[in-house]
Structure 1
Amino acid sequence: MAGLEEHAASCPYCGEPITLLLDMSQGSHDYVEDCQVCCRPINVSVTIDGDGSVSVTLQDENSAL
């Protein structure tokens, strides 16, 4: 589960496809990353289940994680 992993997603603001580079060594975590297209801040929530399944949720800055 350690290391970096790419994750394809869409920006919640502009809808454009973006690629996130997730640090899997941190386990489940939340952070803010700017969209590579429109530069607006995206709240990113990474959840790793006990079986190693990864779930990534993206929300705009006005939505609570």
Structure 2
Amino acid sequence: MIGETKPATYICSYCGETNHTFVDPSQGNNQNYIEDCQVCCRPNELSVSYDEWNKEYHVRAKQSQ
């Protein structure tokens, strides 16, 4: 289905809080974008990768430059 997003979580690289986000599969299995933390509002650079074996997305966050 076009436009369907998948829920995912990441840990803020600044405050350590868990954040909920959505991944858009139509943008590919490997994605990079910036999203502000829902708690401390600081920008996190998110790296998204798709795990073919487990059929799920993994999101890693690092401090945005």
TM range (shorter): 0.7 to 0.9
| Structure 1 stretches of at least 4 aligned residues deviating more than 6 Å after TM superposition | none
When normalised by structure 2's length, the TM-score is: 0.75
**Structure 1 unmatched runs, 5+:** none
Q: Percent identity?
A: 39
Query: Hey, what's the Cα distance between the residues in 2 that align with 1:49 and 1:36?
Result: 25
| Bigger Cα displacement from structure 2, 23-32 vs 40-49 | 40-49
Aligned length: 62
**Structure 2 unmatched runs, 5+:** none
**Over aligned residue pairs, what C-alpha RMSD do you find?**
2.2
Query: Hey, what's the Cα distance between the residues in 2 that align with 1:22 and 1:36?
Result: 16
Residue 54 of structure 2 corresponds to residue 54 of structure 1: no
Aligned to 1:19: 20
Query: Hey, what's the Cα distance between the residues in 2 that align with 1:53 and 1:34?
Result: 22
